[in-house]
Amino acid sequence: SQQGEEDPQALSIQEGENATMNCSYKTSINNLQWYRQNSGRGLVHLILIRSNEREKHSGRLRVTLDTSKKSSSLLITASRAADTASYFCATERMDSSYKLIFGSGTRLLVRP
Amino acid sequence: DTGVSQNPRHKITKRGQNVTFRCDPISEHNRLYWYRQTLGQGPEFLTYFQNEAQLEKSRLLSDRFSAERPKGSFSTLEIQRTEQGDSAMYLCASSIALGFSGNTIYFGEGSWLTVV
């Protein structure tokens, strides 16, 4: 069963704009990870945020985590056409055996 | 390149046939995972190994599915008597257990299965 739900399901922006994707989950977690997937390809790990962290940065990526609201957001600043992909959040639940449970993803289109 | 390797990348098979996928994890990664992904959906967990031990299996993994990881190195996922509903991308991933949670899991490029 899916643990996380991303919002929006699809997002279309102009190159240079910022893109924000949200993820909500249901149970307590150890950590939350964001992945990117180009069409027909495997998943690329972007960033991991632990349950005791509130914000992390990596290059143009900024991730926040609010465990009280069971939600996370991924911000991509100054987007590029090459950022066009599907983005998934995945959670490692506290009762989990180290597996990740994925949401259904946000499809991002960055128009040049 | 020493990433997660999956073979074959694409497989078309007739309904009722058996298929096997192979995964070579990143060297020294002791955890290995199998996921299944259909179009427009996120990956769904199937099973995972720590070394050669299969520690968890999803209810999605019917009796027609079997996974092995002999000697704790590469893994195979076999689907017997394939059905059209098995058509999906099968993703393998690996990670290294460092004694605490929060290990990055690295994915392969996936193996596409089409059952006709």
Residue pLDDT, tens place only, A6-44: 889 999 999 999 999 999 999 888 899 999 999 989 999
Q: Select from B106, B109, B110 the Cβ nearest to the Cβ of A45.
A: B106
Find the distance separating the first CA and the last CA of chain A, reported in whole Å. 36
C-alpha A101/C-alpha A106 separation (Å) is: 15
Label the pairing between strands A101-102 and A85-93. antiparallel
Cis upstream peptide for B70 (omega within 30°): no
Average of pLDDT values for B4-20? 97
Q: How far is CA B29 from CA A12, B33, B93, B95, in A?
A: 37, 11, 10, 5
Which residues lie across from A78 on neighbouring strands? none
Tell me the pLDDT of chain B averaged across its residues: 92
Taking the Cβ of residue A99 and every Cβ of chain B, the question of whether any pair is shorter than 8 Å is answered with yes
Nearest-Cα residue of chain A relative to residue B9: A41
Predicted confidence band at B2 (pLDDT cuts at 50, 70, 90)? confident
Contact A6, A22 (CB under 8 A): yes
